[in-house]
Structure 1
């Protein structure tokens, strides 16, 4: 009984003192205590329009030539058709890819489905943006390009899908005859020295300003047949696909990239 009597006054004293202790602790802090001044972020001047590259971007296509690109199959000069400030897919020439290799980056590009587009499903304006091209064919990590305006197909194959993996959150497609915009943030996969996957790839995609992939985790590279899987790589080119469907070819413009490594 004596021990219980001793404890009660101690608890009362602690309760009385606690507000005073809290006040004293707060009084020793200042707004400046949580301010960070270093390191100072570098200055990047944005483009005058959303389509224009910021000051730290690498311009991959400026409407004049394909000097930053090569044919994926044999690394010869890219032979797609440059005209009127755009580049149009030349299917016989095959896929093209950047001469420069990248790891993590922000990518902007615009693509155009012509008004006289024909076909349906996957045979209607089909192309693709491979965020890391790991081979001469269709190896790599693909964001689908397709006319998905009133065009039914499998949802993980429509525009802005991670092809054969993840459908877009919404269908933000404009009709043929209007330019489409992709803004992409690519986080490359990381591998250990023995080729084991350390961390997977992630991608965020805005289609015409609408979020359609929200830091989506990839299961591996794109495969037309079979499940996706990872293959070790460090840096890789960005590739544009020349699909073999019979519809009139699509075009691209305003392509630039900001390395984030």
Structure 2
């Protein structure tokens, strides 16, 4: 054990004499700073340090994405809110950069349409990087357009979809892109996603803002909000919270 410790110590770059001085286990203990204590919450309750974006009562944290000021027109009922087809996308009033996001969603129990026309919506991170929402239970479409995909960029590792009408969860860790003063990209956005508790995007690099046609590219921006898409299907949402990282 002593030889292993000495070898590891020397490989770490310490001098021979310094390695022999490392005999006290307390020398490698870190006591400060102390991580803050939080209540981790539960399946229905957000962590105590989270920002609640929907509490089941109203859309006071959201506005219409059309102009960024008009009230969000989606329907709030029985602790959930649902896309009002034709009313347009909605977005958060608050803006974010690096974050942990929890969001629950449900596609209609009555199956209508197929492919991209079945239970379609989207979670746009920083209002431009889309994590696809779709009824992908027994529904064939292009792989980088199914639920859990970074739309038109990265397909999910697996299809972890539940059936129509069942509540599903996305737990997202997002690192925002960074830009140089001249507008050039310094580092791209990265995302990790668990869909219904299953890892489907593992520190995935995002190629740029979501495009329906053409190649994704970046344009310099700062912190931005979340946008939810009105794609014409009555997709529902609940229990949305975020933690700034």
**Length-normalised TM-score, structure 1:** 0.85
Give the Cα–Cα distance (whole angstroms) in 2 for the partners of residues 52 and 216 of structure 1: 28
Give the Cα–Cα distance (whole angstroms) in 1 for the partners of residues 213 and 18 of structure 2: 67
C-alpha offsets along residues 12-68 of structure 1, whole Å, 9 cap, x if unaligned? xxxxxxxxxx89954752111111111111111111x23421001110001100000
Partner of 2:149: 161
C-alpha offsets along residues 157-203 of structure 1, whole Å, 9 cap, x if unaligned? 00000000000000000001210000001100000111110111000
Partner of 1:19: none
Partner of 2:40: 46
3-state SS of 1:32 partner: helix
Unaligned runs of 5+ in 2: 1-15
Alignment partner of 1:95 is 2:102: no
5 Å-filtered alignment, 1:2-151, equals 25-26=19-20, 28-47=22-41, 49-75=42-68, 76-133=70-127, 140-151=128-139
Partner of 2:167: 179
Aligned pairs, how many?
230
Per-residue deviation, 1:113: 1.2
Contact 1:108 1:182 in 2 (8 A): yes
C-alpha offsets along residues 214-251 of structure 1, whole Å, 9 cap, x if unaligned? 0000111100000100011011010000003xxx5110
Give the Cα–Cα distance (whole angstroms) in 1 for the partners of residues 90 and 108 of structure 2: 20
Contact 1:186 1:203 in 2 (8 A): yes
Contact 1:51 1:108 in 2 (8 A): no
**Length-normalised TM-score, structure 2:** 0.90
Call closer, same or farther: CA 1:215–1:25 in 2, change over 3 Å: closer
Partner of 1:137: none
Q: Which has the larger radius of gyration?
A: 1
Per-residue deviation, 1:91: 1.8
Alignment partner of 1:190 is 2:178: yes
Partner of 1:217: 205
Give the Cα–Cα distance (whole angstroms) in 2 for the partners of residues 25 and 68 of structure 1: 56
Call closer, same or farther: CA 1:54–1:24 in 2, change over 3 Å: closer
Per-residue deviation, 1:114: 1.8
Call closer, same or farther: CA 1:192–1:178 in 2, change over 3 Å: same
- 2:221 aligned residue (221, 225, 233): 233
3-state SS of 1:156 partner: helix
More helix by share: 1
Give the Cα–Cα distance (whole angstroms) in 2 for the partners of residues 241 and 24 of structure 1: 59
Per-residue deviation, 1:115: 1.2
Q: Which runs of 4+ in 1 moved over 3 A?
A: 22-28
Give the Cα–Cα distance (whole angstroms) in 1 for the partners of residues 149 and 44 of structure 2: 22
